[in-house]
Structure 1
Amino acid sequence: MPHKQAWNGVEDQYRLLARSIQDLAIFLLDPQGMVTSWNPGAEQFFGYREEEALGMPFSGLFTAEDIEQGVPEQELQTAQGKGRVSGNRWLIRKDGTCLWVKGTTTSLRDEEGHLRGFAKICHDLTERKRLEEALRNADRRKDEFLAMLAHELRDPLAPIRNSVQVLRQPGTAEADVQRSLDLIDRQVRHLNRLVDDLLDVSRISRGQLRLQKRPVELPTVVAQAVETCRPLIDAQHHQLHVDIHPVLQVRADPTRLTQVLVNLLTNAARYTPEGGHLRLALEQSGPEVVVRVKDDGIGIRPEMLPHIFDLYNQAAPEWHHSQGGLGIGLTLVKRLVELHGGRVEAFSDGPGRGAEFVVQLPHLQEIPMGETRPEPGEPLPS
């Protein structure tokens, strides 16, 4: 009897200590693994109130796969034999969501060595696990991007090298000389665009890109973007329909806004099979100007839509670098649009169903085209 009273006193002290700790889940189990105490930290971690948890088998916190493999029983057996067992694993909350915990299970014995139960302590590492996985994914995407970058930079070099060899040959026909020069010019411009995109992403990431904003008529920007993309669109035998609202204005950097539309049109042309249909439309929606670029191309898988604008991400194997580009054009679109105070979204009904990109910008009203307003922080004109 004295031993039992002593044990009960120790157990009561343990419960009092556990109740004072809220950043750890601490609970006791009987020798069969049933919960006999449940501290506020455990309630916060797992979502069960104390009255719900008491008498519950602690195996109910494990994943179905772990239960099927007998992990809860193995944990208690190991703790009973070795005194304690520790490890990291996924456990299940009351609402069915998972949390990644570092857990330690310790066997509890009285002075005579009889097993009286177990103490379980859990530390929630879910956020750390999420950050670690995010870092690993970022590293993986960066490695894939660097491999893609090497491929994209190397590909134009072979035709340039071949053209140089042609030009070095004495007596080369004038037509061959012109073809070689045209090819070199195209490849150099392609390399220049790649480098420009990389520099733009770097400048934006470091907050060093400065916009030269002024009142801009959107139809003019659209016309410039279409003219830039026309060779690619024609080469793919696409049909482009442009629906323009004639009086829409925004306050923007016209060069950068043209870059946004060029990237969206280029993206649509590249990822639409030959002979496809593209549409660019301008409209006003309340205080905003809406630009829509739609295609009937390869589409985007639903699970990839939230990541379509991520840096180093090309959204799907179908969007492979064999189509050209580094997969950073959409990243530039999003960041440039946000620098203009707008937002951009992507929509698709799935693979083979095409895609639509929607840009929304603040509508500029009642400002004459010759007038400019200073950006925040800029000095007023004297």
Structure 2
Amino acid sequence: MPERELDERFHLNLEDIKDFAIFRVDPEGRIASWNTGAERVKGYTAAEAIGQPFAILFTQEDRDAGRPEMEMRVASEKGVYQGEGLRVRKGGSIFAAEVTLRALANKGGVHRGFVKITRDIGERKRVESELKRRAEFEQQLIGIVSHDLRTPLTAISLATSLLLRMPALSAQAVRSLGRILSSAERAHRLIASLLDFTQARIGGGFVLKYAPLDLHEFMGLVVEELRLANQGREILFESAGDCRGEWDPDRFAQLITNLISNALNHGQEDAPVRARLSGEPTSVAIEIHNWGAAIPPGELPHLFEPMRRGGEKARAKNTHSIGLGLYIVQQIVLAHGGTVEATSSAEKGTAFTVHLPRSPPPPKEGV
């Protein structure tokens, strides 16, 4: 087929593509065709563009640096050049672009130039920049607010603890001071959850400090602390098998505390919460079970999303939670290379099951 006829068919096939600038460049770097999308993206008409060096579409800085020639050289050697950069419209306005320059050849392998595809990605870049700016702002805001709140809360907690030690306090005074101390401690926990959320969501996940642990003993201590903090509620603990390995002690304690606290908050108050620990060949399994209203099947896939507090009013008991507990559980489990899942039914109750490998997972590539 004659080259002129090929050019005409090439031009006709591209006329309906309006979101991309698609044009042909001859072997000398001159624009040889120009579609409607090129006119819309670049601003030049076909009459203005055809015959001009395609270097007019680059910034002066890129022309001085030889970028148009570099793109043609790479496309000739490798078959295609792809990248992002700044490009110039008619009138001099600059925009961010995603470009592809592909080498063309006839059936005999003779080089016939290039086809250039340019897409305006200014809006995408703007959205990416806004998302990055917002994430940085959120991280800074949470960090600053958390730090500024911790100082007065610590002072309140210390002062209240000292006042509670004073002799001859009335029963009313003791109750009032107890409520103040409880509120301050709850605020501390909320701040800690916000900081954990920031670390997991924006900071790339938790950094773990592994140490050898025997979870029979360690988990038993965590459960005992929770019993003391929730007197009047029954928390049962069972363990079996070899449960030695390496885990982050603080994060493991947080994992168990969050799961049992969740079970206490949403479970039946006159029924026990049962914690089971068992050793497996290469991992340990942890199950936290409670009786109570079943979680609707539609909610189960979303339980570990941040800011989820449960859709069933019957399950929520004025927990003062901001809905980060299970999200943090999931992030701790993932950081350890484990899995966590939830099941719930009226017949079998609600159970969260965690599997943690005994050894740290291999480091991620590039870390």
Scaled by the length of structure 1, the TM-score of the pair is: 0.48
How far does residue 353 in structure 1 lie from its aligned partner after superposition?
5.5
Structure 1 residue aligned with 2:182, among 173, 186, 204? 186
Aligned to 1:326: 322
Task: Check whether the contact 1:264–1:357 (CA below 8 A) recurs between aligned residues.
Answer: yes
Whichever residue aligns with residue 274 of structure 2, its letter is R
Aligned to 1:203: 199
In structure 2, C-alpha distance between the alignment counterparts of 1:208 and 1:339, rounded to whole Å: 7
In structure 2, C-alpha distance between the alignment counterparts of 1:298 and 1:233, rounded to whole Å: 21
SS of aligned partner of 2:221? helix
How far does residue 190 in structure 1 lie from its aligned partner after superposition?
1.0
Task: Check whether the contact 1:341–1:361 (CA below 8 A) recurs between aligned residues.
Answer: yes
In structure 2, the CA distance between the partners of 1:241 and 1:227, relative to structure 1 (3 Å rule), is: closer
SS of aligned partner of 2:306? coil
How far does residue 342 in structure 1 lie from its aligned partner after superposition?
0.7
Aligned to 1:227: 224
**What value does the CA root-mean-square deviation take over the aligned residues?**
4.0
Aligned to 1:288: 283
Structure 1 residue runs without a partner (length 5+) = 1-12, 22-134, 136-152, 365-372, 378-382
In structure 2, C-alpha distance between the alignment counterparts of 1:173 and 1:261, rounded to whole Å: 36
In structure 2, the CA distance between the partners of 1:282 and 1:208, relative to structure 1 (3 Å rule), is: closer
How many residues of Structure 1 are paired with residues of Structure 2 in the alignment?
216
Aligned to 1:243: 238
Show CA shifts across 1:203-237 (max 9, x none).
Answer: 122126321111111123312321232145433x3
Tell me, yes or no, if structure 1 residue 304 matches structure 2 residue 279. Answer: no
Task: Check whether the contact 1:298–1:353 (CA below 8 A) recurs between aligned residues.
Answer: no
Aligned to 1:36: none
Aligned to 1:337: 333
How far does residue 173 in structure 1 lie from its aligned partner after superposition?
4.2
SS of aligned partner of 1:348? strand
Tell me, yes or no, if structure 1 residue 346 matches structure 2 residue 342. Answer: yes
Structure 2 residue runs without a partner (length 5+) = 1-8, 18-130, 132-148
Paired residues for 1:25-174 under 5 Å: 173-174=169-170
Aligned to 2:270: 275
How far does residue 246 in structure 1 lie from its aligned partner after superposition?
5.8
Show CA shifts across 1:279-308 (max 9, x none).
Answer: 111113332210010111222101111101
Aligned to 2:215: 218
In structure 2, the CA distance between the partners of 1:267 and 1:288, relative to structure 1 (3 Å rule), is: same
Aligned to 1:121: none
Aligned to 1:253: 248
SS of aligned partner of 1:188? helix
SS of aligned partner of 2:289? strand
How far does residue 359 in structure 1 lie from its aligned partner after superposition?
0.5
Show CA shifts across 1:222-269 (max 9, x none).
Answer: 12321232145433x3x3221112631231110110100000000101
Whichever residue aligns with residue 278 of structure 1, its letter is V
In structure 2, C-alpha distance between the alignment counterparts of 1:172 and 1:179, rounded to whole Å: 13
Task: Check whether the contact 1:304–1:316 (CA below 8 A) recurs between aligned residues.
Answer: yes
Whichever residue aligns with residue 211 of structure 1, its letter is L
How far does residue 361 in structure 1 lie from its aligned partner after superposition?
0.5
SS of aligned partner of 1:346? strand
In structure 2, the CA distance between the partners of 1:358 and 1:374, relative to structure 1 (3 Å rule), is: closer
Show CA shifts across 1:307-363 (max 9, x none).
Answer: 01011122323344723311110000000111111111011125x852100000112
In structure 2, the CA distance between the partners of 1:305 and 1:374, relative to structure 1 (3 Å rule), is: closer
Instruction: Report percent identity of matched pairs.
Output: 30
Task: Check whether the contact 2:214–2:245 (CA below 8 A) recurs between aligned residues.
Answer: yes
In structure 2, the CA distance between the partners of 1:279 and 1:374, relative to structure 1 (3 Å rule), is: closer
Scaled by the length of structure 2, the TM-score of the pair is: 0.50
How far does residue 375 in structure 1 lie from its aligned partner after superposition?
8.2
In structure 2, the CA distance between the partners of 1:172 and 1:273, relative to structure 1 (3 Å rule), is: same
